[in-house]
Amino acid sequence: MMIKFQDYNFKGKKAIIRVDFNVPLNAEKQITDDTRIRMALPTIEKILSDGGSVVLMSHLGRPKGGPEEKYSMKPLVPYLTKALGREVKFADDCIGEETLALKNNLKAGEVLLLNNLRFYKEEEKGNKEFAQKLAEGVDVYVNDAFGTAHRAHASTTIIAEFFPNDKMFGFLLANEVESMDKVLKQGEKPITAILGGAKVSSKISVIENLLGKVDNIIIGGGMTYTFIKAMGGKVGNSLVEEDYLETALSVMQAAKEKGVTIYFPSDSLNADKFDNEANTSVSEINNVPEGLMGLDISEKSIALFKEVILKSKTILWNGPMGVFEMSNFAKGTIAIANALVEATENGSFTLVGGGDSVAAINQFNLADKVSYVSTGGGAMLEYIEGKVLPGVAAILD
Ligand code: AMP
């Protein structure tokens, strides 16, 4: 039986939480984006308010397998102290005798932050002895790090073995899984997936898995042109993956067989160079002039996509419609974001995930106007590819 975090009484219990505190720090060691920490606070606060104590463990950056001052978690202590309104203790090492003593001395309502898990190669190797050391001195294991749930690391997966009856998702991870299942397993029809971004190659498994689950797929962004070329269109200098032309056609055939409608852009905003200041013009999507490259969708596509989105009850969005990092090629992505906001207002369930669409929706300040914004790029993609995430499986087992 899976234990529900909100139903568990932490009174008198020591809980170790795998959080994702891999936050960006500036040269002064200040946190420049605290989203990941803020999102984990409700999980920490629930345990503390029950009368439990908390040990926090995370990785930060990419240390080379040994301690490195620049990847120390210590600079997070002042932030956490303020956010939680209580003293936060720090263990300079995530395992070892001194750390065990700190764990053993932890009292109800206290918080201990462990230093970077990736100071040990054993973390990413999923080493069992290392996981056991992490598990020492605590009663409960909580996984709240969705961003690493697709990796079978010691702290995300292996450690769960040591808590057969006391392992659970925190609020954040439970929400992530629930939101994805709302689309993939219990989605109200019509269900539409909007897929954009640069490459077909990185989204092909996603498309294939979605074919059995959604009614419509909207394709946008750079990967459009591989499909258009495969269908015999002219794409000029647009991004094309020559190796994927056949795959594109077979995906379209599979969609047809499964009764899934694929919507492609009808027009293309073209540029004479990959530059925000490039000269631009609009063409039919399958008639991009020689020498020009399509960097965004244009008005006709926006109108078409908006219509499909507003008719859908469940919408998943992954990947921008154009090179949104350049303001002159962000219009399509902004329009889709706004259509999602409107759909949400009309009662549809809207899930945005994958690094770049999340960056886009944050950039447009619309993140709190859709139903859910996923925190895990790679993990979310693997989940919608239909893969079992080891970190999720370890709790469900
Ligand atoms: P991905 O990581 O595959 O989701 O791709 C995201 C990237 O795709 C963003 O950096 C976009 O700038 C880029 N992108 C979107 N549309 C295009 C396009 N038409 N041509 C080139 N790159 C694009």
- Summarize the confidence of residues 147-161 as an average pLDDT: 96
Residue written as tokens 């999507």?
A: 285
How far is ligand 1, taken at its centre, from the CA of residue 253, in Å?
25
| E strand map for the chain | 14-18, 53-57, 88-91, 111-114, 140-143, 167-169, 191-195, 216-219, 234-235, 261-263, 267-271, 280-284, 287-288, 293-297, 314-318, 349-352, 372-373
The predicted structure's pLDDT at residue 98: 98
Task: Clarify whether 109 is annotated catalytic.
Answer: no
Closest CA to 207 of 50, 385, 351, 76: 385
Which is the closest atom of ligand 1 to the Cα of 224? 19
Percent of the chain with pLDDT over 70: 99
Give residue limits of the domains in the chain: 5-169, 177-384
pLDDT tens digits along 31-88: 998 988 999 999 999 999 999 999 999 999 999 989 999 999 999 999 999 999 999 9
Decide: 195 and 333 in contact? Cβ < 8 Å. Answer: no
Does the beta carbon of 197 sit less than 6 angstroms from any atom of ligand 1? yes
Does the beta carbon of 236 sit less than 6 angstroms from any atom of ligand 1? no
**Residue 180: pLDDT band with limits 50, 70, 90:** very high
Classify domain 5-169 by CATH number: 3.40.50.1260
Percent of the chain with pLDDT over 90: 90
DSSP assignment of 152-166 equals --TTTTGGGGG-TTS
Which is the closest atom of ligand 1 to the Cα of 354? 4
Q: Is it the case that residue 246 has pLDDT exceeding 70?
A: yes
Tell me phi and psi for residue 135, to 5 degrees: -75, -20
Exactly one of 14, 18, 36, 167 is catalytic; name it. 36
The predicted structure's pLDDT at residue 298: 98
Q: Do domains 5-169 and 177-384 have the same CATH topology?
A: yes
Closest CA to 341 of 315, 323, 379, 380: 315
Exactly one of 125, 199, 306, 313 is catalytic; name it. 199
Does the beta carbon of 223 sit less than 6 angstroms from any atom of ligand 1? no
The predicted structure's pLDDT at residue 397: 80
Query: How far apart, in whole angstroms, are the C-alpha atoms of residue 358 and residue 355?
Result: 5
Tokens in use for 99? 């750390």
CATH 3.55.50.30 for domain 177-384, yes or no, is no
Q: Which of 224, 356, 380 for mutating ligand 1's site (highest number of atoms within 8 Å of CB)?
A: 356
SS3 assignment, position 356: helix
Task: Clarify whether 236 is annotated catalytic.
Answer: no
pLDDT tens digits along 291-325: 999 999 999 999 999 999 999 999 999 999 999 99
pLDDT tens digits along 76-125: 999 999 999 999 999 999 999 999 999 999 999 999 999 999 999 999 99
Tell me phi and psi for residue 190, to 5 degrees: -70, 140
How far is ligand 1, taken at its centre, from the CA of residue 144, in Å?
29
Which is the closest atom of ligand 1 to the Cα of 318? 4
Exactly one of 61, 65, 109, 378 is catalytic; name it. 378
SS3 assignment, position 283: strand
Q: Is it the case that residue 285 has pLDDT exceeding 90?
A: yes
pLDDT tens digits along 186-225: 999 999 999 999 999 989 999 999 998 999 999 999 999 9
Amino acid at 291: G
DSSP state of 78: H
**Residue 1: pLDDT band with limits 50, 70, 90:** low
Tokens in use for 10? 């932490």
- Summarize the confidence of residues 372-395 as an average pLDDT: 90
